[in-house]
């Protein structure tokens, strides 16, 4: 009996007896499309899917962070001991060396132990 009801529901879904008259479908379509007003027509611009939008946002954030990091490292190259960015300069030179020649020179001078400041033997 349960299957009977299922079969009836399926029949209601597809039975041609329950579908609209083709003439009505055609005429109603024409009348409906005549109601479409071109006045509120806006150009259609396809938008990105949610996944693609998130990927684009993530890419922008990553590139921005990389640029910011690089900028900080570059600025840190000119810092002097006691400056806010000096630890970054030390860390950068310890990990990767430094590619800023001016900063590299000043760092080397500051990092080299002063032979005159050592305690005399």
**Phi, psi for residue 56 in degrees, rounded to 5:** -65, -40
- Give least dist CB 105 to other proteins, A: 58
- Give least dist CB 26 to other proteins, A: 10
Comparing CB distances to other proteins, the nearer of 38 and 82 is 38
Q: Is 56 helix (H, G, I), strand (E, B) or coil?
A: helix
Comparing CB distances to other proteins, the nearer of 50 and 95 is 50
Q: What is the C-alpha to C-alpha distance for residues 89 and 71, in angstroms, rounded to an integer?
A: 12
Residues that bind other proteins (CB under 8 A): 1-2, 4-9, 11-15, 18-21, 24-25, 28-29, 31-33, 35-38, 40-44, 46-47
CB 70 within 8 A of CB 100: no
HEC secondary structure over 10-29:
HHHHHCHHHCCCHHHHHHHH
Comparing CB distances to other proteins, the nearer of 18 and 109 is 18
Comparing CB distances to other proteins, the nearer of 11 and 99 is 11
- Give least dist CB 51 to other proteins, A: 13
Longest dimension (CA), the chain: 113
Here the tokens at position 47 are 């938008």
- Give least dist CB 59 to other proteins, A: 23
């Amino acid at each position: 009996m349960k299957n009977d009801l299922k079969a009836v529901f399926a029949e209601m879904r597809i039975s041609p007896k329950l579908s609209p008259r083709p003439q009505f479908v055609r005429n109603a379509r024409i009348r409906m499309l005549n109601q479409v007003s071109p006045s509120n027509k806006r150009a259609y611009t396809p938008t990105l899917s949610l996944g693609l939008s998130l990927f684009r946002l993530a890419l922008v954030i990553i590139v921005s962070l990389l640029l910011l990091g690089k900028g900080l490292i570059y600025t840190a190259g000119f810092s002097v001991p006691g400056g806010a960015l000096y630890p970054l300069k030390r860390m950068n030179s310890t990990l990767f060396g430094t590619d800023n020649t001016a900063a590299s020179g000043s760092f080397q001078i500051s990092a080299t132990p002063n032979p005159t400041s050592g305690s005399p033997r």
